[in-house]
Amino acid sequence: MNEKEFERLLLSVQKPGRYSGGEINSVIKDKSKIDVRFAFCFPDTYEIGMSHLGMKILYSQFNAREDIWCERVFAPWLDFEEVMRKNNIPLFALESRDAIRDFDFIGFTLQYEMCYTNVLNMLDLAGVPLKSADRDESYPLVVAGGPCVCNAEPLADFIDIFFLGEGEEVDLEVIDLYKEHKKNGFNKAEFLKAAAKIEGVYVPSLYEIEYLPDGKIKSITTKDNAPKTVRKRIIADMDNCFYPENFVVPFIQIVHDRAVQEVFRGCIRGCRFCQAGFIYRPVREKSYEVVNHQAKCLCESTGYDEISLSSLSTSDYRELEPLLNNMLEWTEQNHISLALPSLRIDNFSEELLEKIAHVRKSGLTFAPEAGTQRLRDVINKNVTEEEILSTCKTAFEGGYTAVKLYFMMGLPTETDEDLKGIAELGQKIVDMYYSMPNKPKGKSVSVSMSVAVFVPKPFTPFQFEPQITKEEMERKQAYLKSCITTRKIDLSMHDSSTSFLEAVFAKGDRRLGAVLESAYKKGCKFDSWTECFDLQKWNEAFSECGIDPDFYSLRKRDYDEINPWDHLDYAVSKEFLIRENKLAHADTTTPNCREKCSACGANCYGKGVCFERR
């Protein structure tokens, strides 16, 4: 297709900037000097994918190597997909506009389950057979990483290689192995066998799953000497690990349009519903000097006038005070706004507090997740009502009039009492506001509460738990609504059909591959977008494949049942998860990693919070 023609097609769709490339800091290389071409695919729109930090890190790191050219690919939106299919434009990479069908690797990052149909759609748009078994040596290798890989069994038929854990090291080891194999006549099967020997590499085709008559897993066995369990990789030394000096700076507005600086990985807290809190263990921090330096470089190379700090819980960063002191110096001078997350500021100096006061604050938000202290103990979320009320009070005194709270519904052991607690907490905030003599004059308060449906996830203490049924959810929603009596509280409860599907795929096994393919063929894609999600089609797909989705999501699993992900090792042991599950049912909290080690198993890497002096 000639340039003119292509441009005209681009101009016929919404937001052509999604597909045009050519942004500041995008990497162009001379093809003739490249050994390995890697298509880094984010199975969602440009605006979402471009906001993702992991992609930026790997993009820069791959491209730092002279022999690799890594390019970006996003899922085309419906309008452009139609144009592509009509004009036979195969899925291309933004930098070179070359078809990714001719690349060495097609790599996906799997951030949420609801993107799986987009993975299939992108493979199809690329002109590549969907199933790993149908792709011979003439096709690119299809690989995937990201948090969903901790149970990506539903995608096992489609992906050649999964990378477990953090990709910085293992991805390059696999690329190097690939280069070596290419020298001596490339044989895919041989290569996969060899790759499986690298720690952190999971080749699903080398594992055989047998099922019991009741549908549960009987056994997981390996072929060709593949390891019995695959352990995730982590970067142990965060100060010396690669961090990009620049980001591609988009023309069009993306979701998080700013520089992002990582401060640590992992989370000390161990909230029992939170997958990220377990699969990224142990906590590993960067020193504040390194964070400060990297942040400054990033702002200089991108020209961004806004930077945010990234981690699962930035207020737990031990060197936050020296970091902010250092960062505020140059950000203020250069008119850069530092976006701070809500912080626990109890032990900051007066001076720093004053400085922070100048920084534009983001809204006042809390995530108590549950309405009563009992249930918060069950989920190990250590936010107390006093904390919320006292923080709100300070904020109201400072002129705030709006607060946002996030909750979940359908948590293990939840009763109506706990739901009522959600409404009561909101009411207490409203009452407190009106009882304040020094409340902002002439303004009314607004408390918005958003309640999502709980999705049990692998590698959490709640992996054994069922999700609530649709009927139960509807009943709970109606009850909660009836508990709210003031118009100052704005209650939003999401349409949860996607949560149900998410639970099925989160805890699903390989047999769901057929359902995915069938749903995809019926036209399911962009399932996380309400305007695209079509439950009807999904239900048809399940019944055509003879698969009962409730088997995966609504069943309480025994501790000794073999889970589809039990051959994957994320360094938190199943014994630990069982211990935690029992503690949850006894309404008992677990101290965070800094207070006391709970022997989850993640100390096996010899680094991180497990070895801090307590």
Partner 1 sequence: MKFVSHLDMNRFMTRLVNKAKIPIWFTEGFNQHAYFNFAVPLSLGFEGQYEILDLRIIDPAYSNEQLVADLNKESIPDIEFVKANEPVLKMKEIAFAEFKIIFEEVFAEKIERFFAREQIITQKTTKKGGTKDIDIAPLIKKAELSGNELTLILTAGNENNLNPTLVLSTLFELEQFKAEYSVVRTMIYDKKMQPFI
CB of 325 to partner 1, least distance (A): 21
- The number of residues that bind ligand SF4 (CB under 6 A) is 11
Partner from ligand SF4, partner 1, none binding residue 88, C-beta < 5-8 Å depending on class? none
Measured from the CB atom, the residue of 246 and 603 that comes closer to ligand SF4 is 603
Partner from ligand SF4, partner 1, none binding residue 10, C-beta < 5-8 Å depending on class? partner 1
**Per CB under 6 A, 271 contacts ligand SF4:** no
Binding residues for partner 1 restricted to 286-305, rule: CB under 8 A: 299-305
Q: Which stretch binds partner 1 (CB under 8 A): 10-18, 186-194, 309-317, 591-599?
A: 10-18
d(CA 64, CA 68): 8
Count of C-beta atoms within a 10 Å radius of residue 32: 5
Q: Exposed e or buried b for every residue in 408-436, given b needs 16+ CB within 10 A? A: bbbbbebeeebbbbbbbbbbebbebbeee
* Cis-peptide into 282, omega within 30 deg: yes
> Long-range CB contacts (< 8 A, 24+ apart) of 558-563?
558/464, 559/464, 561/216, 561/217, 562/216, 562/217, 562/218, 562/219, 562/220, 563/151, 563/217, 563/458, 563/463, 563/507
Return phi, psi of residue 558, to 5°. Answer: -65, 155
Measured from the CB atom, the residue of 422 and 572 that comes closer to ligand SF4 is 572
Count of C-beta atoms within a 10 Å radius of residue 18: 24
Residue 309 pairs with which residues in a beta bridge?
261
Interface mask toward partner 1 for 464-503; x: CB under 8 A: ----------------------------------------
> Long-range CB contacts (< 8 A, 24+ apart) of 263-266?
263/291, 263/309, 263/310, 263/311, 263/314, 263/317, 263/323, 264/238, 264/311, 264/317, 265/166, 265/234, 265/235, 265/238, 265/311, 266/312, 266/608, 266/609
Interface mask toward partner 1 for 546-565; x: CB under 8 A: --------------------
**Per CB under 6 A, 593 contacts ligand SF4:** yes
- The number of residues that bind partner 1 (CB under 8 A) is 25
**Per CB under 6 A, 603 contacts ligand SF4:** yes
Partner from partner 1, ligand SF4, none binding residue 223, C-beta < 5-8 Å depending on class? none
Listed in sequence order, the residues at least 6 apart from 374 whose beta carbon sits closer than 8 Å to its beta carbon are 418, 587
**Per CB under 8 A, 23 contacts partner 1:** yes
Measured from the CB atom, the residue of 71 and 465 that comes closer to partner 1 is 71
Binder of ligand SF4 out of 114, 259, 408, 602 (CB under 6 A)? 602
d(CA 94, CA 72): 6
Binder of ligand SF4 out of 145, 282, 421, 458 (CB under 6 A)? 282
**Per CB under 8 A, 328 contacts partner 1:** no
**Per CB under 8 A, 357 contacts partner 1:** no
Measured from the CB atom, the residue of 109 and 590 that comes closer to ligand SF4 is 590
**Per CB under 8 A, 16 contacts partner 1:** yes
CB of 614 to ligand SF4, least distance (A): 9
Q: How many CA atoms lie less than 13 Å away from 407 in the CB half-sphere?
A: 29
Label residue 332 exposed, middle or buried (CB < 10 Å: 0-12, 13-18, 19+): middle
Q: Which stretch binds partner 1 (CB under 8 A): 18-26, 39-47, 346-354, 392-400?
A: 18-26
Distances (CA, A) of 476 to 36, 407, 428, 501: 53, 13, 21, 19
Binding residues for partner 1 restricted to 239-278, rule: CB under 8 A: 249, 251-253, 257
Please give the sequence-ordered ranges of beta strands (E in DSSP) within 237-352, or none if there are none. Answer: 259-262, 264-265, 284-285, 306-310, 337-339
Measured from the CB atom, the residue of 94 and 120 that comes closer to partner 1 is 94
Measured from the CB atom, the residue of 258 and 284 that comes closer to ligand SF4 is 284
**Per CB under 8 A, 1 contacts partner 1:** no
Nearest to 324 by CA among 349, 299, 298, 297: 349
Binder of ligand SF4 out of 37, 281, 510, 567 (CB under 6 A)? 281
Partner from partner 1, ligand SF4, none binding residue 86, C-beta < 5-8 Å depending on class? none
**Per CB under 6 A, 610 contacts ligand SF4:** yes
d(CA 318, CA 532): 43
d(CA 56, CA 49): 9
259-262/141-145 β-pairing: unpaired
Partner from partner 1, ligand SF4, none binding residue 604, C-beta < 5-8 Å depending on class? none
Q: Which stretch binds ligand SF4 (CB under 6 A): 170-178, 480-488, 578-586, 599-607?
A: 599-607
CB of 413 to ligand SF4, least distance (A): 23
Interface mask toward partner 1 for 93-132; x: CB under 8 A: ----------------------------------------
Binder of ligand SF4 out of 34, 236, 436, 597 (CB under 6 A)? 597
Distances (CA, A) of 47 to 42, 43, 147, 262, 448: 10, 11, 20, 20, 26
Measured from the CB atom, the residue of 287 and 603 that comes closer to ligand SF4 is 603
Partner from ligand SF4, partner 1, none binding residue 597, C-beta < 5-8 Å depending on class? ligand SF4
d(CA 305, CA 333): 11
d(CA 157, CA 566): 18
Rule CB under 8 A: which residues touch partner 1?
4, 7-8, 10-11, 16-17, 20, 22-24, 249, 251-253, 257, 299-305, 334-335
Residues that bind ligand SF4 (CB under 6 A): 281-282, 593, 597-600, 602-603, 609-610
